[in-house]
Chain A
Amino acid sequence: MMTRVFLALVLAFAAAQAWAQGPLRIEITEGVIEPLPVAIPNLVPETAESAQMGQQISRVIAADLVGTGLFREISSDAYISQISDFAAPVQYADWKAINAQALVTGAVTVSGSNVTVKFRLHDVFSDTELGDGLQFAGTTDGWRRIAHKVADVVYSRITGETGYFDSRVVYVSETGPKDNRRKRLAIMDYDGANVQYLTGSEAIVLAPRFSANGDRVLYTSYETGFPRIYVLDVGSVQRRVLESQEGTMSFAPRFAPDGQTVVYSLSQGANTDIWAMNVGTGQSSRLTSAPSIETAPSFSPDGSQIVFESDRSGSQQLYIMPATGGEARRISFGEGRYGTPVWSPRGDLIAFTKQSKGRFHIGVMRTDGSEERLLTASFLDEGPTWSPNGRVIMFARETQGAAGRSTLYSVDITGRNLRPVRTPEGGSDPSWGPLQR
């Protein structure tokens, strides 16, 4: 037993030296990531009643960081020194000895329905803090948001990227077998916590889409018997129909970045084209007029272009056109069918669903169609949505056969760290909202 412990320590030191050669930093774009060891001792309770809250918040901070695949948490069993006083100097040697590259120390105070968290991030092998200490205050029922805020700061300081933990996802919650599936809109924290249902399941609801600032959600509902586009105010849960031309079907809506324009598909007879509507005036205009299927439009982050799918070439492929319509250029040329394109918030990539040889994939390509990378493969993956920082994609995976079920998954844009998102029921059609303020 001693020998094994000793060996582990030696290995840990070897790894520590590899990490310690530069400043505390993860370059996410690097090909292979060895998760960075981080110690996240429970927040120091500053009053007796704060202890449980401190533990809860620390566990969520750890889950956020470890969930990225970029961090590995060091078990508290390995700690040499304990953080029992937030104000006391950190004994860096004790944390170096267990190869903690990063250390998050903090304290929590619960007072009535208010909770205050202060924390510091330490670069252990530089014997120093990384950035300044920060304090967050909020209400106890919002404690998970405080944890996400802390984790976002840690993630941001170490990776140089904006975080994405304090964000929400709107999706379709599903129950029942494939031939009697019940669907209702739901909203949750990015990690599957705090699910709230926004509609009932009397009518089919599909493909909710957040506005850029997260205040509204567009979705498609069959509550009139025909697919129609609705807009729902997230705060009040009030909704109204947006598009209801008699004898037509409308679906696949998405907001422009300014929140004023909505693009969507309208089916008239056999033909489906892309239209745009001003949310305020209700005025609509047609952006495509081919006899083929044009659907699944998504704006570039600057609002100047729209990527969409069309089968005008004979099979589903991706195209980009000006936001006002006009000539489109095809960007997908690989084998198979491409659908559901979504422009990344950074503007550099387009995520899509690909069907090839009986399998479904979530993939990304550059906006000129180059550097296509398939991130997943399964019986049925579809409907990608981007994390606010453009580093992670969430999508839905349906399993086959009579017992088939749809589950939300997330995957890093490098294809690593595929993991299910735990939701109370099945899930599909996720739309990831912005980082909350």
Chain B
Amino acid sequence: MIRTFPLKPALLLVAALGMAACTNASRFGDDVTSSGPLDGTAGLAGSASDPASPAYFQQTVGDRVLFAVDQSTLTPQGRATLDGQAVWLLQNADYTAVIEGHADEQGTREYNLALGARRADAARAYLISQGVQSNRLQVVSYGKERPVEVCSTEACYSQNRRAVTVLAAGLTG
């Protein structure tokens, strides 16, 4: 590729480019499986009138607790909700749960992931303190990636700063 370039008056330096164009086709995650926890609003089993149903847990007991700005301390209302969750989980021992921690969009991505972890852990620790077995409760933080409300005001932010207890069937192992 390198050739001299005999033009006058000025010397022409010659450079060759390793122009190996990237020809790899994009791969749309051909071996990706989406096996995350059930979404808090999807996959509800049973009727809300059945106290042993996940629908009852979500709608009547309350599946989520909310937090103040940049806080992971449980509010009195949040503790009351978790008291109900603990009672339900103790009565329905076949269920496990993933507690999802979330943040509003007013924060950087990494910090909000860590903040969501704090919130989810606060809920988990409280449920354990109320007698729920720790091996039934996992946590995951979504940071600001999964808002439920999309406006950019406190009315929405207050709903997005949350820890949601998402039920999964079956205690394995």
B40 at interface, CB cutoff 8 A: no
Inter-chain CB contacts under 8 Å: number: 194
Q: Which B81-140 residues have a C-beta within 8 angstroms of A? A: 98, 105-111, 113-115, 117-118, 121-122, 125, 138-140
In the assembled complex, A167 has its CB within 8 A of some CB on chain B? no
Cα–Cα distance between A199 and B26 once the two chains are bound (Å): 7
Is the CB–CB distance between B114 and A272 below 8 Å? Answer: yes
Interface centre among A135, A141, A224 (most CB of B within 10 A): A135
Query: When chains A and B are docked, how far (Å) is the Cα of A202 from the Cα of B111?
Result: 24
**A89-B10 Cα distance, complex, nearest whole Å:** 11
With a cutoff of 8 Å between Cβ atoms, the chain A residues found around residue B145 in the complex are 181, 204, 206
Look across to chain A and name the residue whose beta carbon is closest to the beta carbon of B148.
A179
> In the complex, which residues of chain A have a beta carbon less than 8 angstroms from the beta carbon of B111?
293, 295-296, 309, 311, 316, 339
With A133-B12, A198-B27, A224-B35 as given contacts, are A355 and B106 in contact (CB-CB < 8 Å)? yes
Cα of A220 to Cα of B141 in the assembled complex, Å: 13
Contact with A along B32-46 (1 / 0, CB 8 A): 111111000000000
Contact with B along A376-417 (1 / 0, CB 8 A): 000110110000000000000010111010000000000000
Within 8 Å by CB of B150, from A145, A236, A402, lies: A402
Query: Residues of B contacting A236 with CB < 8 Å?
Result: 24
Residues of A with C-beta under 8 A to B32: 199-200, 202-203, 223
Name A's B-contacting residues (CB within 8 A).
Answer: 87, 118, 120, 129, 132-139, 141-142, 145-146, 149, 177-179, 181, 184, 196-204, 206-207, 222-227, 234-237, 247, 249, 251-252, 265, 267, 269-270, 272, 293, 295-296, 309, 311, 316, 339-340, 353, 355, 358, 379-380, 382-383, 398, 400-402, 404, 429, 437
Q: What are some 28 contacts across the A-B interface (CB < 8 A)?
A: A120-B10, A135-B5, A135-B15, A139-B21, A149-B15, A149-B17, A179-B149, A197-B27, A203-B29, A203-B34, A223-B32, A223-B33, A225-B98, A237-B26, A237-B27, A249-B117, A265-B110, A267-B113, A270-B118, A293-B114, A293-B118, A309-B108, A309-B110, A309-B111, A316-B108, A339-B108, A380-B105, A382-B109
Interchain residue pairs A-B with the least CB separation, the first 10: A200-B29, A138-B19, A225-B36, A133-B12, A400-B152, A270-B121, A272-B114, A142-B19, A339-B108, A197-B26
